[in-house]
Amino acid sequence: MNKLLVLFAGVLMSTSSFAMSGSYGVSTDYMWRGQTQTDHGMHANLSLKQDLGGGFYGGAWTGNVEVNGTQELEMDFYGGFTKMKGDFWVDAKYVAYRYTGESVTDFEERIVSVGYNAFSYGKAHGIEEALNYEWYELKLPFIKWADVTLHSGEWENGLDNKSVKLNWSLTDDLTLGMMVMSHIRDDNMRTGDAISFHLKSKF
């Protein structure tokens, strides 16, 4: 797998003729699929995405996490294919999650998602012993004062979560967001609902 990641990084570096995009941001919490990844603490992240042409793409994302009181760095590497036709779209990608410390085990997923208009469905298939995760999302385009998305997801072990995401475009490249999530867990213990604010800039 490490050789594959090195090859993937080389592809990103050698395809400068295609469009590359990126973003960086900060948030008051890093909440992912119903669990805080920073013990409800501050989070910063950076991402790069390379358009490879023909619907194919690759990218990387990195941000800080806190696991059992230990600060670590999460690094995600992904590659995939997306296709749109009218209001219908489909996306398939492979993601490798890597961590700098020993508190979290590295893992991989195959993720397939489809959408039509304001509705989308997705499923992450965990490789080897990683758990599967399934979710539904619905955007509310009739709300004009913010971009609002409802999310409902469930792990294969029965743990579920629901969230409401709101985003406001401050400029063409700067977005202010808020996430209200229920059934938040911290180290697999439910801690109730939580709210996170984030600021994201594209470049």
Q: For 144-200, what is each residue's pLDDT tens digit?
A: 999 999 999 999 999 899 999 999 999 999 999 999 998 776 655 455 688 999 999
Give how far Cα 48 sits from Cα of 85, 127, 143, 148, 158, Å: 25, 24, 30, 25, 33
With 70 as the cut, is the pLDDT of residue 85 above it? yes
Say which residue, 67 or 5, is predicted with more confidence: 67
Predicted pLDDT at 27: 98
Whole-number average pLDDT of the chain: 89
* Cβ-based neighbour number of residue 39 at 10 Å: 16
Q: How far apart are CA 160 and CA 139, in angstroms?
A: 20
With 70 as the cut, is the pLDDT of residue 13 above it? no
Predicted pLDDT at 192: 66
Predicted pLDDT at 14: 52
